[in-house]
Chain A
Amino acid sequence: MATTQTAGVEVHRPGVTPSKDNYLNHSKGLMSWLFTLDHKRIGVMYTIAVLAAFTLGGFFALAVRTELAAPNTGDGAWQMLPSGAVYNQMFSLHGAIMVFLFIIPSIPAALGNFVLPIMLGVKDVAFPRLNLFSFHLWILGAAFFLLALATGGLDTGWTFYTPYSLEGHSTSAVIAATTGAFVLGFSSIFTGLNFIVTLHKMRPTGMTWFRMPLFLWGLYATAVIQVLATPVLGITLLLLIVERAFKIGIFDPSLGGDPVLFQHFFWFYSHPAVYIMVLPGMAIVSELIGTFSRKHIFGYRFIAMSSVAIAIFGFFVWGHHMFTSGQSALASTVFSGLTFSVAIPSAIKVFNWVTTMWKGDIHLKTPMVYALGFILLFMIGGVTGLFLGTLSTDIHLHDTYFIVAHFHYVMVGGTLWAFLGGLHYWWPKISGKMYSEKVGVTASLIALLGFNLTFFPQFMLGSQGMPRRYFDYLPEFQAYHVWSTIGAYVLLIGLVMVAYNLVMSMIKGKQAPDNPWGSNTLEWKCSSPPPHHNFEHQPTVGDPYDIEGYVYEPSIDGYVRPDEAAVETAGRS
């Protein structure tokens, strides 16, 4: 099937399909993108959209970190932002934008949309129109956030805790942001629903549940959480809007409501949401580790089932956000016990990944460097969670910078690292171009250094007693803050290099082969970029991790499978 023109003679080059017609040039014009039903284009648009949100959220993070470089009074005082009110808006917008507009949709909606149907060997998701509608809802939700930004005054933090969020300074900003989160919730529910139906109904012949790639297991577990947990967030935010607009007492004690009830509702969604963030990340790492170690993944069933276990356990641990809230001591005790149950399946995954590398042939390509970075960061994020699940130590550490450091290790070190690993892994498939490995690996390592410099000192800051969400602080905390702020700028340099590398690949990158990494999942069996309908003919389904038959072919800088190529050539003549 692969041909190139050389001196007028058609020469077959297995492994490269320079298809003239692909999903990128299949139709032209802005409208052909904005109203496309093609899951690949929707995935690309999501990728661009969530990266734009990430950039905006990152800007607010830098504002926060720069402000915190020094206390506002005393020797060497430094105050960049005009007031505590502005600072509070900066961290609120940072959190809300990063969580609702970037992390939650990043892997499932952006990479998942692009990859899931191709990995299944099918043309599209079960409901392409619903898929497009999900994206349009994302845009609408983002518009509400921009409205909140424009009207100013969103200073509730991303958690919208009552009664503060009921009496804050700007009704319009709080209602705009909660409406935005409500709309984004539906976007998330529809994507999850679409994936569940697609995975149940459209798996090709031969792909049993336990022959499904682990990325799809991760997306499946995530989709279940999205569909079951997100409605609770919707209800909660709706109640908040109703209470704020019509003064009906639900959460506000001055109207007879209960502010702690809001926290239960909020974390009933937002704790499972942590697994919406990290399960797809773990799923990407499960693809990367085996491929770049040239080994079959170790413990496939345990990795797959641990995703399901995390999704289920994740529903029963929300109260661990509330050990100091005033909930009963009995409830706190039960939630502490249940919280530790989530540690087990997470640990199982890590052990299986490491064992996969044993006696492998480890290629430290950019995606693998991200996967190893993920293991390092997730280990730190995971073990620091133990201090917080444990009741007596959590009382001291709760609402300090220890928490801030912990959840950044999990959510950024987990999700962002896996997202970037996945983006670099599938980039040749998405764009049809190869990026510079040298720049890719360097950028990843600089970002890793910057990240650790930013967030590791925050553990000590927290255990020493510095509360979170502080505009100003006591001078004894400054040393850690300085390191943290320097780290934020190092991280910025790394991320700018990532963006530069990917943009440059589109301008002058080499044509990507069909299978640059030698993976056996189905998305590598179509051309790079894929044609409009993904496959010219139905690919054969086998063990997704049977990669030993692949041989590196230097002329195309990619992998071919001699046994398969022979079959194909025979079929052709």
Chain B
Amino acid sequence: MNGLLSLALQGAGQSFWFPEQASTVAGRIDAVFYFILWVSIISFVGVVGVTLWFAWKYRARPGHSAVKTSSHDNTLEVTWTIIPTILVAGMFWVGFKGFLDLRNAPEGSYQVNVTAQKWSWEFQYPNGHLSPELHSWVGQPTRLLMTSTDVLHSLYIPSFRVKQDVVPGRYTSLWWEATKPGVYNLFCTEYCGDQHSAMITKCVVHESKEAFDAWMEKDADIIGNSPSLVAAGETLYNRKGCTQCHLTTAETLKGPGFLVLSKAWADGKALPLDGGGSVMPDENYVRESILVPGAKIRDGFKGVNMPAYQGRIKDDELGAISLYIQSLATDGN
């Protein structure tokens, strides 16, 4: 309840109407807002002020009566048609110019691909690295190429004054150039169901390209950042796209559930393969299935065509994933 009376403004640079301006377009958009605001305030005070003044001055009271006046006046009508027309034409024009700035990303923008799904964001950088938070750096125009795997979402960063719906089945994009380092809220603003209000993440703006690269190097080192190899395996499972087709239960999504493999491994049982034969689950089978998925296809999964990870994953990462899958059967599942 703090700040109830003071309407306390939190965060540096925040004003009565806006969060801080952290992009190159923010200042220009706010200027348009304040232009319309002042036109609005003057119109409102004028119209409502005159209305209340009339209601008082000409209030019904003993000895007072209405004075017959003309009931039409074309000069007045034309005047109060033309003045608002000029004002709104001006608003249209400045809004249009600002919109062009928002729509046209400059040449050489740094592109991040965005996948929205219920109820999380996934950001993929040019080197293939995935992160649940969006990172960029000051002074670098950054363009997002976005799509959704399920329903409509919308990516909104108030401090940058940018917003764009994310539509399944097509790409949409937006861009900005950050002007100051910081951590900014990133919201989903298109209603998407139960956890819509939890589909919030951060946009981290680093102060330089070097700082961004340093973050990237550290963040990409998943094993170094994890408390154990099993935990690293779980993070890799979540970040490398495995979740799209594999559950950690025995249920089949597109590919087989990992628990089936894990249990067979623990019990020392072979798994049947497509076209006859079987395979004994172990580290080598897991490694091969990730690097060259077509080598041994489990019975019933022919034609699924999992993408090969050869060259896209490191040796120690393969080991961590293998350990994680092995741990599923013993983790009380």
Q: How far is the CA of A178 from the CA of B114 in the complex (A)?
A: 33
Main SS class of interface, B: mixed
A383 contacts partner chain B, Cβ-Cβ < 8 Å: yes
Q: Are B99 and A391 in contact (CB under 8 A)?
A: yes
Within 8 A of B (CB), among A385-438: 386-387, 389-396, 398-400
Contact pattern, B 218-247, Cβ under 8 Å of A = 1, otherwise 0? 000000000000000000000000000000
Residues in B whose Cβ lies below 8 Å from that of A399: 154, 156, 163, 189-190
Q: Are A390 and B4 in contact (CB under 8 A)?
A: no
Q: How far is the CA of A376 from the CA of B52 in the complex (A)?
A: 10
Contact of A351 among B18, B80, B168 (CB under 8 A): B80
* Nearest B residue to A302, CB-CB: B77
Residues in B whose Cβ lies below 8 Å from that of A36: none
Residues in A whose Cβ lies below 8 Å from that of B168: 163, 253-254, 259
Within 8 A of B (CB), among A252-290: 253-254, 258-260
Q: How far is the CA of A188 from the CA of B204 in the complex (A)?
A: 51
Contact of A324 among B17, B43, B164 (CB under 8 A): B164
Within 8 A of B (CB), among A487-502: none
Q: Are B95 and A391 in contact (CB under 8 A)?
A: yes
Within 8 A of A (CB), among B41-82: 43-44, 47-48, 50-52, 54-55, 58-60, 64-69, 71-73, 76-77, 80-81
Contact of B58 among A357, A390, A393, A473 (CB under 8 A): A357
Q: How far is the CA of A296 from the CA of B70 in the complex (A)?
A: 9
B96 contacts partner chain A, Cβ-Cβ < 8 Å: yes
A35 contacts partner chain B, Cβ-Cβ < 8 Å: no
Chain B proximity of A397: nearest CB distance (Å): 8
Residues in B whose Cβ lies below 8 Å from that of A463: 17-18, 33
B6-14, B120-128, B323-331: which one contacts chain A? B6-14
B85-93, B137-145, B249-257, B310-318: which one contacts chain A? B85-93
* Nearest A residue to B171, CB-CB: A326
* Nearest A residue to B164, CB-CB: A324
Q: Are A379 and B80 in contact (CB under 8 A)?
A: no
B291 contacts partner chain A, Cβ-Cβ < 8 Å: no
Chain A proximity of B173: nearest CB distance (Å): 10
Q: Are A396 and B163 in contact (CB under 8 A)?
A: yes
Q: Are B76 and A392 in contact (CB under 8 A)?
A: no
- The answer to whether residues A164 and B84 also contact, given A389-B91, A399-B189, A469-B191 and a CB cut-off of 8 A, is no
Q: Are B19 and A393 in contact (CB under 8 A)?
A: no
Residues in B whose Cβ lies below 8 Å from that of A358: 54, 58, 69
Residues of A participating in the B interface, judged by any CB pair closer than 8 Å: 70, 75-76, 83-85, 88, 155, 157, 161, 163-164, 167-168, 253-254, 258-260, 293-302, 324-326, 329, 332-333, 336-337, 340, 343-344, 347-348, 350-352, 354-355, 357-364, 372, 375-376, 379-380, 383-384, 386-387, 389-396, 398-400, 460, 463-465, 467-474, 476, 478-480, 482, 545, 548
What would 12 A/B residue contacts be, using CB atoms closer than 8 Å? A76-B1, A163-B151, A253-B169, A336-B92, A352-B77, A360-B54, A386-B40, A389-B95, A395-B99, A465-B19, A470-B196, A472-B198
